[in-house]
Each structure stands twice: as C-alpha cells, then as structure tokens.
Amino acid sequence: MASADTTWKLSAFAPKPVVQAALLAHDLIDDWDFELVIAGREVAEDRPDDWVLEGWYPRKPGKAEKAALAGLFEGTAPKITVEELPPEDWVTLSQHNAPPIRAGRFHVHTPDYPADPDLIDFVIPASQAFGTGQHKTTAGCLEMLGHMKASGVIARNVADIGTGTGLLGFAALALWPRITLTLTDIDPVCTGVVEENAALNGVTMGAGAGEAVMIIADGMDDPLLQVRGPYDLLIANILAGPLVSLAPDFGKAVPPGGHLLLAGLLAGEQEAAVRRAMALAGFRLAARLQRGDWAILWLRRRRAIR
C-alpha cells in the first residue's frame, strides 16, 4: 500500500514545440484540478529540442488524471508513463545538492556551499516550496531586480505574489533596505519555509519598514494584502494563465509610475497574451530578459495624462 505521503508522477515525452503548446493549453483551462501539478522542461541540456511534460499527483492517478494530461496535446497525445515516487517531498528532493547560482548581483546557494562575500548572498535550503534560484525564471527575476535598482528605480512598498521560498522578496529588501515587504503564496506550507529562510538570511518578520509580512492568499484576494497597498513594486513569478487573470487586480494595486516584475511565462504566445493583458491594465514594457525559453518582463504603470 502506498504511503499517505507518496507522490505519483506522470510523464509525456514530446518535441519542445508540442510540450510548449500543451503548457499553453493548460493555462487556458479555468477548472483544472489543482492537485495535478504540471511543468515542462527539456530532457537534458545537450538535448534542447527533447522535452517532457510532467505531472505530479498525491494519489495513484486514474483514467481521469491521465485523460486530463493527454487532453493538453493537440491530436494524438504521446504515451503517458506513471511512476510512484518515494514517500518524500519531490520538490525538496529535486533541490538537494543543487549547485550555487549567480544571477546578476546575487549568489544563491544551499547550506552545503559557502557564501560569496563579493555578492549579495542568500542561503536557501532545499524545501517544500519553489524558488531556490535554480529555475531560469527565478534567476532571471534576480537579474532584473538588480537592473531595476541600477536604473534608478526607488521602491518603498513591495509585494511578492507567489513567493515560494521568499527569495525574490528578500532580494528586493537587500536592494531597497527600508521597504515595507509583503510576501504571499497560496500554499500554507510556505509560511514555515519563508520564516525559516528569513531567519537564515537575517530578514526580520514584521510589519514595519525593512521587515517582511507573510500572507497566505489566492492572488490579490486578501484584505491585509489590499490594505497594505498600493505597491510601487509588485513581483509575480507564477504562471502565464494566472498572470493574465490577475492583470486587472495588478492595475489596481500598482499606482501610476509604479513597477511590475513578471515571470513564469514562456516566450512566444504566453508572453504575448500576458503583455496584452497588462497593456489593458495600464502597463507598458520597460525592459525584457529571456533566459532559455522563459521571458522576464519589467513593466511600468502608465502615468495619468493631464
């Protein structure tokens, strides 16, 4: 009998454009089963055109879960394999022994590696939350934050939506030490993860300037998150579909002249959809990075015309 903590993984191997199209189809589904978490990636660095669409489920997947994954593919879906993972957290396992990364002004590493005194250093243990700096979107956001600071951006009130480990919010606090920082995530496990990482990196949890508040919230729909706004810098490294849906709320939360840092979207159709939604909410592109297949966008809220 499987342990209650067992995770099951579904895998579908296909060429890169096919998996990317499936990810885009997933973003357009409003009633997706939130327990079936999916992601796409290249199989290996030396095989950039060979990708796999992976799904993780807390129970042995049945016909419905397999059909949901297969339904993301146009035409005939590739073969879907299912495997039972050990009764340990798969996110944590994937992060063990992860090498340090350098992203612009930042150096991020697990406790297994030494700090870099020449850079802004963060120690982020392998954890149950996303955002250790290993993914190109997180590293790209770190680079863009450094670029924003160097470009003269002044931040006083910052929110990191979908914070995961808290890393991007901590990075903003390192660049602008007197900000009021709000961290949010939909996953309750992130509260303990963020608090642990804050202690490891000398970040004070609290409501004042130079401190961080952690909130469990779905998007922008939380009274405390709304009361603590508006935000002159809002960070959201999540997924393209939620970014499109949240665009009107971001427009309300960021005042004219404020800044928005977005990631979690693939260059191409996903980026175009996100940029259209943000333009309708009053944002214009200030700068763009691309790391691998992922786009990182810095947008500014347009000032009112007098």
Residue where a domain terminates, one of 39, 67, 88? 88
Question: Is 173 found in the same domain as 278?
Answer: yes
SS3 state at 165:
coil
Question: Is 205 found in the same domain as 240?
Answer: yes
SS3 state at 298:
strand
Q: How far is CA 43 from the centre of its chain?
A: 21
Residue where a domain terminates, one of 71, 88, 105? 88
pLDDT of residue 134: 52
Token duo for residue 273: 């959809």
pLDDT of residue 132: 46
Question: Is 110 found in the same domain as 47?
Answer: no
pLDDT of residue 223: 95
Question: Is 202 found in the same domain as 61?
Answer: no
Question: Is 116 found in the same domain as 180?
Answer: yes
Q: Give the structural domain span for 117.
A: 95-301
Quick check: is 212 in a domain? yes
Q: Which residue has the tokens 């998007």?
A: 219
Rounded-to-integer distance, Cα 298 and Cα 287, Å:
5
DSSP conformation class of 218: B
**Cα→Cα distances 297→1, 107, 129, Å:** 46, 21, 23
Quick check: is 196 in a domain? yes
Q: Does the pTM of the predicted model rise above 0.85?
A: no
SS3 state at 160:
strand
Q: Where are the alpha helices (DSSP H) in the chain?
A: 16-27, 63-70, 90-95, 136-150, 167-175, 189-200, 223-227, 240-253, 269-280
Per-residue pLDDT of the chain (306 residues; tens, 9 = 90+): 334 456 788 999 999 999 988 888 887 777 788 778 888 888 887 888 899 998 888 889 999 999 999 999 988 889 999 998 765 544 444 444 567 888 989 999 888 888 899 999 999 887 544 444 456 888 999 999 999 999 999 999 999 999 989 999 999 999 999 999 999 998 888 899 999 999 999 999 999 999 999 999 988 989 999 999 999 999 999 888 889 999 999 999 999 999 999 999 888 889 999 999 999 999 999 999 998 888 999 999 987 654
Residue where a domain terminates, one of 60, 88, 116? 88
pLDDT of residue 131: 46
Q: How many domains does the chain have?
A: 2
Q: Could you tell me if 92 and 169 are in contact, meaning their C-beta atoms sit under 8 angstroms apart?
A: no
